[in-house]
């Protein structure tokens, strides 16, 4: 093993994917596991998108596509940015990749030199910090609290900026907390950033369409920091297209070109058929698309049900998330308690206890940078959610 490169040895496995793998393995052994671990819509890809992809195969869209994506797709994304977010990204500023995860990876690799500092408000999505580690950057975490909806203030961000700061990374709607930054809050961040022209921000908006509050707000809308913002988005969450592996960025031209160069040496481009499918997805207007609206309404219904169910569990403290499909409640009131062979000292212990004693797979808050919490993905049926909470409530009641 020691022959493996340090960058891999030092890197952690994605804990969202690890919990999903364990849940799959236990299911294969015949265990009745309910998985609330992975953040993946349980809906199917809209019919019109699937039909367009089927036609693309018949029409032989089967050759290498251009590295940054088909011109028609980049044009469709450019129009989508204008239509939904009032952002002016020309097609040249848009790079299509194999999932938003690869988009994020390429942005970090294009910007971060060894020892550059990257500010990441915690809780954060698991892969941000591991990608920064691969780039040999230094993560600077800012702790946020449940009482403040896990949101960071411009003053907190500014206090963390040094002359080594290169990048800030955050998601809104947030994975794992489900919280949103309002237009005013984003404006506060933009005003602060306009005083720090060497600092870039990666605004991850992949949950844009799963917003129960109203209109999605993009950080890049504030012109004075437009040249500092990289907007991340993709089709996985809002269009139930996780397996198609397609994400994209809108970025200042030099950053887009750097990502294009990197991608040309790594994947050559994402799958041609997925790209054709994404053209259809981009044409779907979130204001009028029945598919997008009905998925969002279903998620909202589940969010409301989960909020109610979680509040009935003693010692579990939660806020009402405004977007995405996660709850991130505080569960530290169970730390220090025991049952049978289990002692619960942290969010990892509690997650394992709930996996084996309640047969429900969740993800420990420690993976997202907050060990007091645990993440529930509610992208599954109402019946399974009710059953999962019943099991969890029962298992937690045994802890003394």
Neighbours of 210 (CB within 10 A): 25
Q: 171 is in the binding site of which of ligand GLU, ligand PMP, none (Cβ under 5 to 8 A by kind)?
A: ligand PMP
3-state secondary structure of 108: helix
Q: Give the residue with the Cβ less far from ligand PMP, 39 or 250.
A: 39
CA angle, 58 then 61 then 67, to 5°: 165
Using CB under 6 A as the binding rule, whether residue 39 contacts ligand GLU is answered as yes
Q: Which of residues 161-220 bind ligand PMP (CB under 6 A)?
A: 171, 175, 204, 206
Neighbours of 149 (CB within 10 A): 18
Does the footprint of ligand PMP cover residue 240 (CB under 6 A)?
no
Considering the complex, state which of residue 40 and residue 260 has its C-beta at the smaller distance from ligand GLU: 40
What secondary structure does DSSP assign to 378-394, as a single string? --S-HHHHHHHHHHHHH
What span, in angstroms and rounded, lies between the C-alpha atoms of 238 and 234?
8
CA distance 87 to 260: 21
User: 299 with 293: CB under 8 angstroms?
Assistant: no
73 touching ligand PMP, by CB under 6 A: no
Nearer to ligand PMP, 137 or 323 (CB): 323
Query: Per-residue x/- mask for ligand GLU, residues 72 to 101, rule CB under 6 A?
Result: -----------------------------x
The region of 7-15, 95-103, 178-186, 356-364 touching ligand PMP under the rule CB under 6 A is: 95-103
- Structure-block tokens of residue 44: 């199917």
Return the sign of the alpha-carbon dihedral for residues 376, 377, 378, 381. Answer: negative
Q: Name the segment binding ligand PMP (CB under 6 A); options: 51-59, 94-102, 110-118, 330-338.
A: 94-102
d(CA 207, CA 295): 12
How many residues lie near ligand PMP (CB under 6 A)? Answer: 13
Residue 325 is a binding residue for ligand PMP (CB under 6 A): no
Q: Which residue is nearest to ligand PMP (CB)?
A: 99
- Looking at the Cβ atoms of 175 and 221, the one nearer to ligand GLU is 175
* Contact (Cβ atoms closer than 8 angstroms) between residue 302 and residue 385: yes
Rounded to the nearest 10°, the torsion over CA 91, 97, 228, 79 is 30
Binding mask 20-59 for ligand PMP (x = CB under 6 A): -------------------x--------------------
Pick the closest to residue 264 from 71, 106, 81 (CA basis): 106
User: Least distance from C-beta 400 to ligand PMP, angstroms?
Assistant: 36
Write out the two tokens for 125. 């999505």
Residue 38: contacted member of ligand GLU, ligand PMP, none (CB under 5 to 8 Å, by partner type): ligand GLU
| Residues of the shown chain interacting with ligand PMP in the complex, contacts defined by CB under 6 A | 39, 99-101, 125, 171, 175, 204, 206, 234, 236, 242, 247
Interacting residue ranges for ligand GLU, rule: CB under 6 A: 14, 16-17, 38-40, 101, 126-127, 175
């Amino acid at each position: 093993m020691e022959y493996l490169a340090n960058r891999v040895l030092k890197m952690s496995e994605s804990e969202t994917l690890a919990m999903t793998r364990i849940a799959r393995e236990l299911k294969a052994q015949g265990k009745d596991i309910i998985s609330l671990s992975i953040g993946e819509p349980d809906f199917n890809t809209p019919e019109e998108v699937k039909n367009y992809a089927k036609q693309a195969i018949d029409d032989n869209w089967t050759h290498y596509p251009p590295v940054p994506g088909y011109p028609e797709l980049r044009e469709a994304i450019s129009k989508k940015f204008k239509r939904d977010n009032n952002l002016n990204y020309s097609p040249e500023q848009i790079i299509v990749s194999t999932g938003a995860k690869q988009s994020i990876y390429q942005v970090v690799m294009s910007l971060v030199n060894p020892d550059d500092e990257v500010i990441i408000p915690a809780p954060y999505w698991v892969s941000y910090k591991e990608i920064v580690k691969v780039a040999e950057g230094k993560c600077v975490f800012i702790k946020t609290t449940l009482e403040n909806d896990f949101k960071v203030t411009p003053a907190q961000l500014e206090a963390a900026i040094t002359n080594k700061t290169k990048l800030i990374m955050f998601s809104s709607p947030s994975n794992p907390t489900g919280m949103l930054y309002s237009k005013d809050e984003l404006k506060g961040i933009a005003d602060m950033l306009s005083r720090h022209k060497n600092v870039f921000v990666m605004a991850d908006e992949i949950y844009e369409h799963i917003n129960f509050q109203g209109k999605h707000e993009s950080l890049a809308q504030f012109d004075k920091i437009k040249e500092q913002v990289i907007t991340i988005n993709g089709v996985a969450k809002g269009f139930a297209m996780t397996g198609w592996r397609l994400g994209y960025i809108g970025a200042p031209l030099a950053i887009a070109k750097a990502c294009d160069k990197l991608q040309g040496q790594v994947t050559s481009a994402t799958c041609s058929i997925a790209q054709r499918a994404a053209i259809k997805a981009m044409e779907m207007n979130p204001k009028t698309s029945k598919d997008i609206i009905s998925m969002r309404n279903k998620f909202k219904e589940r969010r409301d049900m989960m909020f109610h169910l979680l509040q009935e569990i003693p010692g579990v403290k939660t806020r009402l998330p405004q977007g995405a499909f996660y709850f991130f409640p505080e569960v530290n009131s169970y730390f220090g308690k025991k049952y049978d062979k289990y002692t619960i000292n942290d969010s990892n212990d509690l997650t394992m206890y709930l996996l084996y004693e309640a047969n429900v797979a969740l993800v420990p808050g420690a993976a997202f940078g907050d060990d007091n919490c645990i993440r529930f993905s509610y992208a599954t049926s109402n019946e399974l959610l009710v059953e999962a909470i019943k099991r969890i409530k029962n298992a937690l009641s045994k802890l003394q």
